[in-house]
Amino acid sequence: MADDKKLVESITSRDVDFAQWYTDIVKKAELVEYSGIKGCMIIRPAGYAIWENIQKELDARFKETGVENVYMPMFIPESLLTKEKDHVEGFAPECAWVTVGGSEKLQERLAVRPTSETLFCDFYSRIVESYRDLPKLYNQWCSVVRWEKTTRPFLRSAEFLWQEGHTIHATAEEAEARTIQMLNLYAKFCEEVLAIPLVKGRKTDKEKFAGAEATYTIEALMHDGKALQSGTSHNFGDGFAHAFDMTFTDKDNKIKYVHQTSWGMSTRIIGAIIMVHGDDDGLVLPPHIAPTQAVIIPIMQKKEGVLEKCEEIRKRLAGIKIEAFHDEKIRVKTDDSDKTPGWKFSEQEMRGIPIRIEIGPKDIEKNQCVIVRRDTREKIVVSLDEIETKATEILVSIQNDMLARAKAHMAAHTYEATEWEDFKEKADTKPGFIKAMWCGELDCELKVKEEAGLTSRCMPFEQETISDKCICCGKPAKKLVYWGKAY
């Protein structure tokens, strides 16, 4: 049995070294492998299957709002990237450049896309003429490159996968409505599918996207008390429209500039799933997003009839739709490898498969099986006559319970501070969000970062007044801000 524990023993405890625990998880669960290119990761089948489920779910939700998919080139001419001053200044330090094509030096260097605003702007300027052409609601699934100095799988890498939506509208009101709509879509997706609770709000001007009028964010809290920006939605106003001459003839026959939005979510959300739900035995995947939702593990599988009964159960479960998961059929497999049951249990736990179904000769005699929940390790004896109903109920219960636990963790690690010394003490001793008032001045935001080591995560939509003065300078407060350390 000692060999059966190797998977678990090789994981560093979360409370000993959270960063090493995270690295152990992504490696041992075979989510990623390091590549020969510094900062770039190989996403293995187990990791990519999670991304495929995220992509499938998000893509369907986008299309329900009228969004269509397109694909843009991965190269951006320097002259195009530099058209919007704030934008290029924000991304220039992270750009990777192509200067040679084949054996010829290029007349103009090309950026490997760090994001695609300028490409979409150039495209829209070519195809939009009249108000009748609006709105344009486009999204693309692609990879982007940002030459990061410090990298970590999923959380920060030189190349990563994401989706980026880019829309243009006739009015500022329509653009703002779309910006908020997509942020709410992300938040609902994270709660319903990933079982991750969030704080929704607006970024400060210091933290907003380069070139945006306003950036809105969803902020999740990891197990170690650090925040993770999990999705953003930007209102660009008509700034890019002026730079790229994106105009249209309106109903009044006047030439006007379009109003633009951009919104995105990337593979870093897989990092959030790991850090919100994982434990010292490996991944804990929410059933809705898990590539495999149930694994059947035969006990004494060489005994007559055991594997046959496992296959019968697999077929029965594979035909069942779960209403709570958009009527998707249960994703179930049988592990009939020649490994010991103990190893299979450990592997199922490492990979975060929500339930395992144990069945052996004695269970078959009793017309039963044992269902073990990954999240709580609870063992439930289930009659084979009720296997479809019980398995469905347990999967839905796990999904709901995981969200409830994550909400409780966030609530328990969200603090308030109204005095500067108390704020700094909490920043030093209580990992999590700290709610505190802010005057709106950049100097105070910078002082909070310098002296307390925290950044503004967002100004939440649900504003409270916990004090009438700024936590930093004592002047009249304008906004409640969530502050925290972040990945």
The pLDDT tens digits of the residues spanning 273-298 come to 999 999 999 999 999 999 999 999 99
The number of residues in the chain equals 487
CA angle 82–486–452, rounded 5-degree value: 105
pLDDT at 136 over 70: yes
Q: What is the mean pLDDT of residues 292-321?
A: 97
pLDDT tens by residue, 397-419: 999 999 999 999 999 999 999 99
286 within a domain of the structure (yes/no): no
Q: What is the mean pLDDT of residues 199-220?
A: 96
Q: Which domain holds residue 437?
A: 414-484
Same domain, 272 and 298: no
What's the number of domains the chain is made of?
A: 3
Q: Which pLDDT value is given to residue 86? A: 73
Same domain, 187 and 270: yes
Range with lowest mean pLDDT among 13-27, 82-96, 170-184, 351-365: 82-96
Cβ neighbour number for residue 419 with a 10 Å cutoff: 13
Same domain, 346 and 447: no
Helix segments in 141-278, DSSP class H? 172-192, 239-244, 268-277
Same domain, 160 and 302: no
* Alpha-carbon radius of gyration of the chain: 25
Question: At a CB cut-off of 8 Å and minimum separation 6, what does 209 contact?
Answer: 90, 203, 215, 232, 234, 262
Same domain, 60 and 126: yes
Helix (H) or strand (E) holding 60: helix 45-64
Range with lowest mean pLDDT among 126-140, 147-161, 347-361, 447-461: 147-161
State the Cα–Cα distance between residues 130 and 330, nearest whole angstrom.
48
Same domain, 126 and 230: yes
State the Cα–Cα distance between residues 285 and 301, nearest whole angstrom.
27
**Confidence at 19, pLDDT banded by 50, 70, 90:** very high
CA angle 194–399–263, rounded 5-degree value: 15
Q: What is the mean pLDDT of residues 94-113?
A: 95
Give CA separation, 429 vs 4, 425, 435, in Å.
Answer: 38, 6, 15
CATH number at residue 201: 3.30.930.10
**Confidence at 344, pLDDT banded by 50, 70, 90:** very high
408 within a domain of the structure (yes/no): no
Q: Which pLDDT value is given to residue 2? A: 46
Q: Which pLDDT value is given to residue 7? A: 55
Q: What is the mean pLDDT of residues 455-472?
A: 97
High-pLDDT (> 90) share of the chain, %: 93
Q: Which pLDDT value is given to residue 6? A: 57
262 within a domain of the structure (yes/no): yes
CATH number at residue 362: 3.40.50.800
pLDDT at 3 over 70: no
- Strand intervals (E) in 21-61: 32-34, 41-43
Domain boundary among 334, 366, 395: 395
State the Cα–Cα distance between residues 148 and 254, nearest whole angstrom.
45
141 within a domain of the structure (yes/no): yes
Under a CB-based contact definition with an 8 Å cutoff, are residues 179 and 233 in contact?
Answer: yes
pLDDT at 170 over 80: yes
Same domain, 265 and 330: no
Same domain, 215 and 363: no
402 within a domain of the structure (yes/no): no
Domain boundary among 348, 367, 395: 395
Cβ neighbour number for residue 224 with a 10 Å cutoff: 17
Q: Which pLDDT value is given to residue 1? A: 43
State the Cα–Cα distance between residues 72 and 1, nearest whole angstrom.
53
Same domain, 239 and 308: no
Same domain, 135 and 234: yes
Q: What is the mean pLDDT of residues 173-196?
A: 98
Closest by CA to 445, choosing from 414, 478, 412, is 478
283 within a domain of the structure (yes/no): no
Q: What is the mean pLDDT of residues 105-123?
A: 95
Same domain, 389 and 447: no
Under a CB-based contact definition with an 8 Å cutoff, are residues 240 and 260 in contact?
Answer: yes
**Confidence at 9, pLDDT banded by 50, 70, 90:** low
Domain boundary among 248, 277, 306: 277
Under a CB-based contact definition with an 8 Å cutoff, are residues 431 and 413 in contact?
Answer: yes
pLDDT tens by residue, 39-89: 899 999 999 999 999 999 999 999 999 999 999 999 999 999 888 777 777
184 within a domain of the structure (yes/no): yes
Same domain, 273 and 303: no
pLDDT tens by residue, 82-98: 887 777 777 778 899 99
High-pLDDT (> 70) share of the chain, %: 98
Mean pLDDT over all residues of the chain?
A: 95
409 within a domain of the structure (yes/no): no
Global pTM exceeds 0.85: yes
